[in-house]
Homo-oligomer: A and B are copies of this chain.
Amino acid sequence: MWVIFLAAPKTQVECDYDGPAMKTQVPGPRSQELTKQLGEIQNVGAVNFFCNYNESRGNYLVDVDGNRMLDLYTQISSIPLGYNHPALIKLMAHPDNLSTIVNRPALGILPPGNFPEKLMESLLSVAPSGMTRVQTMACGSCSNENAYKAMFIWYRERGHNTPSAEDLSSCMVNQGPGCPDLSILSFMGGFHGRTLGCLATTHSKAIHKVDVPSLDWPIAPFPKLKYPLEEFARENAQEEARCLEEAEDQIVKWRHKGKPVAGIVIEPIQAEGGDNHASPEFFKSLRNIARKHGCAFHVDEVQTGGGCTGKFWAHEHWGMDDPGDIVSFSKKLLTGGFYHKNELQPYRIFNTWMGDPSKNLFLTEVLNVIRTENLLEEVTRSGKALLNGLYELQVRVFASRGQGTFCAIDVCDDATRTSIILKARNKGVVLGGCGDRSIRFRPALVFKEYHVHLFLNIFNDVLAQHK
């Protein structure tokens, strides 16, 4: 209907700059002015600086003061191909896509004609093993909230498929038996979102949870492993065994309390909680515990999914045919949502938008680029270089760990971390923290070995200056 001619961007050949370039301290004067302006409208306690997304490109984030920084944080791990990837810009030239962006449908009742095809091309083409069904959602929290509901409904429907009259009347006033006392088992240090249901399973920082009512649901310890994993194999195995035993105990205990565990939710690597890893054996055993006790197994890949670990899903590193009953996603996938097994028919999972098909369009293109540019291999290669480089810094940092470019280190305390992150930023590198005293690395999938070395040089200087 409409035709758009897209003039080639001046720098289309180069989709990346050749290095950081700093003009001011960050935040610079313009950022500070804008922070003051925005402070009149909303809380700006978490604002780092203001960005010029028009000028940002590839691995480089440009701010409103003209500073150009190598970005190893990528909007909390949510920019898959770096900034302004030409393939995504080009996509907007197709007239069908224009109308998809302008007219947001209520996907659950009136999907666009190309919706099944677009789901096949995008989300279904990277479906986790054993999962053929997917439901999109607007964000990560909504994805997990609705995944929990799918697990509750599944758990109840095994017993009786049709709710009784008493179920229907009692649920209207939030009471049982209609609203059952079911629970979700989560792990200390886990992060699954900050809406009320998700928050009851989030245990990464007190400041996320304090003052908000919660649900009496079981919490198991997540293994606290020593790194490098290979060097502490025996101790780590013991720690994992302890945590598995405790998880199983919790399931039994909550069943006796009359609040049976309908599902277990876990991240393949606890991200917000401090980049805590566990072995494939741990996850295999936990999956078996879920099966044994009739609980659904929900793998939350909101932060780990999308290729940053060198595989599209972090759970692929477990090498299992049947890794879970539900896998949720968001961030780098651009749309939120969850995959699920056939048995967990999410009947009654519904809201107005149910996602946003314009995000599916972009995801299709992201997946094409990942394939044609072999980005998973690139991530594996860059990740190795990054981790090796971090090992070499071990004199000043601790517990270097990672999978692909999804890496982290610990420093001695929170104050040191803040100081390092701010110093790095003023030298043109954007980093983020996680856990109590970790720095996490979350570059885009287009972060090459060249960028790794650029980063390591600057980071080495920061650490040297910092002593």
Interface residues of A (CB under 8 A from B): 1-7, 9-10, 30, 34, 37-38, 40-43, 45-56, 61, 64, 75-76, 78-79, 83-85, 88-89, 92-93, 95-96, 98-106, 108-113, 115-116, 119-120, 124, 132-135, 138-142, 145-146, 148-149, 152-153, 156-157, 163, 167-169, 171-175, 178-183, 188, 193-198, 200, 203, 206-217, 219, 330-331, 334, 345-353, 358, 362
Q: Assess the A45–B213 pair: CB atoms within 8 A.
A: no
Q: How far is the CA of A209 from the CA of B156 in the complex (A)?
A: 13
Question: So how many copies of this chain end up in the complex?
Answer: 2
Residue from the set A48, A108, A174, A213 with the largest chain B CB neighbour count within 10 Å: A213
* Contact for A197 among B85, B106, B181, B196, CB less than 8 A: B196
Which residues from chain B contact A171 at a C-beta distance below 8 Å? 206, 209-212, 214
Give A52's nearest chain B residue, CB to CB: B113
Which residues from chain B contact A135 at a C-beta distance below 8 Å? 42-43
30 A-B interface contacts by CB (under 8 A): A1-B54, A4-B92, A30-B113, A41-B120, A42-B134, A42-B346, A47-B108, A47-B110, A48-B110, A49-B110, A51-B111, A75-B106, A75-B109, A78-B106, A78-B352, A92-B98, A92-B101, A138-B142, A141-B142, A141-B351, A142-B142, A149-B212, A174-B217, A175-B214, A179-B211, A179-B212, A179-B214, A181-B213, A195-B196, A207-B348
Which residues from chain B contact A157 at a C-beta distance below 8 Å? 211
Q: How far is the CA of A266 from the CA of B79 in the complex (A)?
A: 37
Q: Assess the B4–A7 pair: CB atoms within 8 A.
A: yes
Q: Assess the A145–B215 pair: CB atoms within 8 A.
A: no
Instruction: Assess A48 versus B179: contact at CB under 8 Å? Given A141-B195, A171-B209.
Output: no
Give A148's nearest chain B residue, CB to CB: B196
Which residues from chain B contact A101 at a C-beta distance below 8 Å? 92, 101, 358
CB distance from A444 to the nearest CB of B (A): 11
Q: How far is the CA of A104 from the CA of B157 in the complex (A)?
A: 39
Which residues from chain B contact A167 at a C-beta distance below 8 Å? 206, 210-211
Q: Assess the B53–A153 pair: CB atoms within 8 A.
A: no
Q: Assess the B350–A78 pair: CB atoms within 8 A.
A: no
Q: Assess the A5–B4 pair: CB atoms within 8 A.
A: yes
Give A6's nearest chain B residue, CB to CB: B4
Q: Assess the A46–B108 pair: CB atoms within 8 A.
A: yes
Which residues from chain B contact A56 at a C-beta distance below 8 Å? 99, 103
Q: Assess the A48–B109 pair: CB atoms within 8 A.
A: yes
